[in-house]
Amino acid sequence: MTRNISPSSPRQLRFLVIGAGSRGNAYARAVTTVTPGVIHAVAEPHKFKRREFGRNYIWGTEGTSTEGQEFADWREWVNWEIERRKRASQNDSPNTSATPPAGVDGVFICTLDETHVEIVQVLAPLNLHILCEKPLALSLNDCLTVYRTLQPPQGESQTPTPPSNIFSIGHVLRYSPHNILLRKLLLLDRAIGDIVSLEHCEPVGWWHFCHSYVRGNWRRATPAGDGSLLTKSCHDIDFILWLLCSPPSLEDARAHAISPHFPRSISSAGTMTQFRRARKPSAAGDATNCLTCPAERDCSYSARRIYNDRHLAKGHLSWPVDIVCPDIEDVFCAQGASAAESHLLSRLAEDYDRGSTPDSAIASRPWYGRCVYEADNDVCDDQVVTFAWDDESTLPHRLAKTALFHMIAPTENLCERRGRVYGTAGEIAYDSNTISVYNFASAETTVINVPKPPPDQKESHGGGDYGLARQFVSAVEAVENGGLDVETAQARFVGCTLEEAVRSHAVVFAAEEARKEERVVRWESWWGGEVEGFCCCVEGVV
């Protein structure tokens, strides 16, 4: 679909953010900082977070919201937008003089994972550009539902209909300067020849894991199949597939009908090794909350030590403290440090009794002061996924290779990925700051110090948040103001299709199935069976 817009008078693009949590703020900050677009509206049920978001990105510290900028619920915004469009339609009448308020061009979906599918389904008829935070959904069927919702149906000729809007998923690892350079070295420069094998590790971080996956929102897997591999590491799996499956250029792939190089098999092993009752120190006794535990001061995972001593007491009011207490900065500024500490500790003191508290009540909210050995978590804190590829006989010839991914919780570094790629002509080692290339022929090592993001972008996945927002807005800009067709803009700027996003999620579900059933998943037959069973057509499988 091509928009015929005059490039001589570009219109500033406007975006709605649904969900004013950490990810919503990250994308709003990126849009405001590095793109010509603006955040025009926010939908967020928590009043303090909504107002703070608006002050930071929409109406400013001295202003107030105007019509169409602030909503307590995304459904409220949808109803308002439908009515606004009716008003705009009526405004075309010569008997109507009132000008309706402005709408938005695109939406950032930054809500809880389980809400993504419903939101996408409701937004789809509004014909807006969408960026959805990862994961796309919590089951393969729901991912395929999103695909069917956003992908136009095939015409009578059974050829795919081009998409009508830009879609992007929050796989931010594709968009950091470090990873873009790494991929260039591997696929375009062929710095180590043909890739033979890759090892990639995500060290989650010893206290980060317990914050998000033992006490926090992602501590429980659902029957549909999600777990920490999906909620924490789906963009690491996508990163591996981006390096080893995807053609170097999506535009070139479209032009020459080059399909991805799919793996032959996927296997996985992992379990909940650390955060369970069997590991509980005997000195803790029957305590279930850190603030009443006799061993608290000697425990590395003490909630008081993590949230207060390591952060609040040192003046750090942002993540993770503001996840526990969203209004902590407001309390700190209005009442002082002592009141902020009391506010934090009162939240950490909240607890439950397994015998008397309904499981639904326990599952409905995070318990940030709960003993990590007495929590209701059930997701892996240590997991390995392995991939194997065969030689590809069709052009372009792509050779057999293997890959290994390791997600591990008890690490010093927080989410500072590291890895090594072995090739026929050398090997590359990488961490979050450097890339080291060893050449077999010359026996020389070249160390590349990748430029670090500016200080205000240091906690943005190595600049990936900013890169993703920039490319998404650039794609929307090219369509809305440049008249470029959606399919070309998607390939040129986003570099990933909806099909590719769904497929990388599917690989995560396949890996989880392999782990739970202790078997090797044969990708081609598994993927074909899953998609055929859902009565859906996706590129590469009918």
What tens digit of pLDDT does each residue of 358-378 get?
999 999 999 999 999 999 999
Q: Tell whether the model's pLDDT for residue 467 goes beyond 80.
A: yes
**From CA 280, how far away is CA 287, in angstroms rounded?**
10
User: Once rounded to an integer, what is the mean pLDDT over residues 494-515?
Assistant: 95
Q: Helical H runs in 35-162?
A: 47-57, 74-91, 116-123, 140-150
- pLDDT tens by residue, 257-279: 788 899 999 999 999 999 999 99
Give the single-character DSSP code of 261. -
Average pLDDT, the chain: 91
Residue 449: strand pairing partners = 434
**From CA 303, how far away is CA 372, in angstroms rounded?**
9
- 162: pLDDT confidence band, cut at 50, 70 and 90? confident
- The per-residue pLDDT for 9 is 58
User: Tokens 């060893």 belong to which residue?
Assistant: 438
Q: Residue-wise over 85-124: b if at least 16 C-beta within 10 A, else e?
A: eeeeeeeeeeeeeeebebbbbbbbbbbebeebbebbeebb
- The per-residue pLDDT for 451 is 78
- pLDDT tens by residue, 105-138: 999 999 999 999 999 999 999 999 999 999 999 9
Question: What is the maximum alpha-carbon separation in the chain?
Answer: 80
User: Once rounded to an integer, what is the mean pLDDT over residues 43-56?
Assistant: 93
Percent of the chain with pLDDT over 90: 77
- The per-residue pLDDT for 542 is 33
Q: Are 155 and 455 in contact (CB under 8 A)?
A: no
Q: Are 344 and 324 in contact (CB under 8 A)?
A: yes
Q: Are 191 and 250 in contact (CB under 8 A)?
A: no
Which stretch, 38-52, 220-234, 453-467, has highest mean pLDDT? 38-52
More confident residue, 118 or 536: 118
- The per-residue pLDDT for 4 is 45
* 265-271/195-203 β-pairing: unpaired
Q: Tell whether the model's pLDDT for residue 437 goes beyond 70.
A: yes
CATH topology of domain 172-274+379-533: Dihydrodipicolinate Reductase; domain 2 (3.30.360)
Question: Residues near 510 by Cβ (< 8 Å), separated by ≥ 6?
Answer: 266, 521, 523, 526, 527
Question: Residues near 66 by Cβ (< 8 Å), separated by ≥ 6?
Answer: 59, 101
Total-model pTM: 0.91
Q: Which two tokens stand for residue 26?
A: 């990250």
Q: Tell whether the model's pLDDT for residue 498 goes beyond 50.
A: yes
- The per-residue pLDDT for 100 is 83
Strands (E), 188-244: 195-203
**From CA 512, how far away is CA 306, in angstroms rounded?**
31
Number of neighbours of residue 330 by Cβ within 10 angstroms: 16
Q: Tell whether the model's pLDDT for residue 470 goes beyond 70.
A: yes
**From CA 137, how far away is CA 336, in angstroms rounded?**
41
- pLDDT tens by residue, 297-330: 999 999 999 999 999 999 999 899 999 998 898 8
- pLDDT tens by residue, 166-183: 999 999 999 999 999 999
- Residue range(s) occupied by CATH 3.30.360.10 in the chain: 172-274+379-533
Cα angle: 32, vertex 334, 458; to 5 degrees: 35
- The per-residue pLDDT for 177 is 92
- The per-residue pLDDT for 434 is 93
The string of DSSP codes covering 277-338 is GGGS-GGGTT--BGGG-TTGGG-TT-HIIIIIITTGGGT--STTHHHH-TTHHHHHHHH-HH
Give the single-character DSSP code of 538. B
Burial (CB count within 10 angstroms: exposed 0-12, middle 13-18, buried 19+), residue 462:
buried
Q: Which two tokens stand for residue 441?
A: 């022929």
**From CA 378, how far away is CA 221, in angstroms rounded?**
7
From the list 225, 370, 382, the residue with the least C-alpha distance to 301 is: 370
Cα angle: 428, vertex 430, 431; to 5 degrees: 170
Number of neighbours of residue 134 by Cβ within 10 angstroms: 23
Burial (CB count within 10 angstroms: exposed 0-12, middle 13-18, buried 19+), residue 147:
buried
